[in-house]
Copies of this chain bind each other. A is one copy, B any other.
Amino acid sequence: MLKKKIRIGIIGYGNLGKGVELAIDKNTDMELMAIFTRRPTESIKNCNNNIRILDINMAQDHVDNIDVMILCGGSATDLPIQGPHFASLYNTVDSYDNHGSIPDYLEAMNKASMGNGKTSGVCIGWDPGLFSINRALFESILPQGATYTFWGPGVSQGHSDAIRRIVGVKNAVQYTVPKEEAVKRIKSGELAELSNRDGHFRQCYVVVEDGADKDEITNKIKLIPNYFADYETNVVFVTEEELIENHSKMFHGGFVIRSGWTGNNCSNNNISEFSLKLDCNSEFTASILVAYARAVYRLNREGHIGVKTVYDIPLKYISNISIEDLCKNLL
């Protein structure tokens, strides 16, 4: 007898939603039922022609044939509204990443899902998500020590956008890059006092309008508060062609590292590290969402309702391999 597949829906069809569509194809226990979008549905060409593209206003009408809705909207304005709305109708999973507002988001999602017997996996990308797992795991194992998170080298969409808003700028790509010197110190076991800005610099590739004043634009970029003002920032001007040719890939990555001490008088240093090197940030994040959609589905079937983070979910729920085979082959 064929096992029933987990029926998935996608809310939002940007880079992340496209990544989810592709990732579902790689998981034999799932099927994609529909993609919901705010844009005119006839304007959208998706990867697999057999998948229905529907208006987001119809998303509430599919509760009987979608097991888990994967929320692919942005954290700034989409998820605070869409999250609780859909969590009251469906099991959901999302990669909400506005670190400062996580407790509020958790509360809203818990209320929405709990009230309707649904399960919501929230903040499940790579940071927050996989990096969060390792921060907690490392600190539990090595209580004496220090944890550092480095992001990049990789494209930061928010920082690229901030540059593009400057008058005279046609296009821009900003890379967040860990400082080699800082990384070397941490990896050698040094317990350095290191803020995010001590550990990273910002590399900008900028295309300007004809006749724009490059020095003025450079100064303006370096003065943007929060984004650049406190960081070491390097600006390079390139042509539109060079930008497209050399800076179109959405690669990213980073690592969490803990340097911890064990033994009498803390004589021994032990370094744990979790790292990612991603050709495609959005496709990798989408792959995480899809694996955790499986967990959310199973948790809900077992009656575990309400909000769940990576701290609540055992690995056996995430894997498509039976617990017996996990123990036999991967333990």
Contact = CB atoms under 8 A, between A and B. Distances in A.
Interface in A115-161: 123, 128, 130, 132-137, 139-144
A47 interface: yes
Contacts of A27: 143
Q: Interface size class for chain A? A: 35 or more
B321 A315 contact: no
Contact of A140 (B123, B134, B291, B323): B291
Interface of A: 19, 22-23, 26-27, 47, 99, 102-103, 106, 123, 128, 130, 132-137, 139-144, 260, 262-264, 267-280, 283-284, 286-288, 291, 294, 309-316, 318-321, 323-324, 326-328, 330-331
A273 B272 CA distance: 11
A293 to B, nearest CB: 11
Contact of A143 (B267, B268, B320): B320
Contact of A139 (B262, B268, B284, B330): B330
A326 B311 contact: yes
Nearest to A106: B327
A328 B22 contact: no
Given A268-B283, A270-B278, A312-B316, A327 B143 contact: no
A330 B273 contact: no
Contacts of A144: 26
A123 B139 CA distance: 20
Nearest to A289: B141
Given A270-B283, A274-B274, A279-B269, A327 B309 contact: yes
Given A137-B318, A139-B321, 14 more contacts: A102-B327, A106-B327, A130-B137, A132-B331, A133-B315, A262-B279, A262-B286, A262-B287, A268-B279, A268-B280, A270-B283, A275-B275, A311-B314, A311-B326
Contact of A280 (B262, B309, B320): B262
A328 B103 contact: yes
Contacts of A264: 22, 47
A261 to B, nearest CB: 9
Contacts of A310: 315, 331
A61 B84 CA distance: 53
Given A102-B327, A268-B279, A314 B312 contact: yes
Contacts of A142: 284, 287
A318 to B, nearest CB: 5
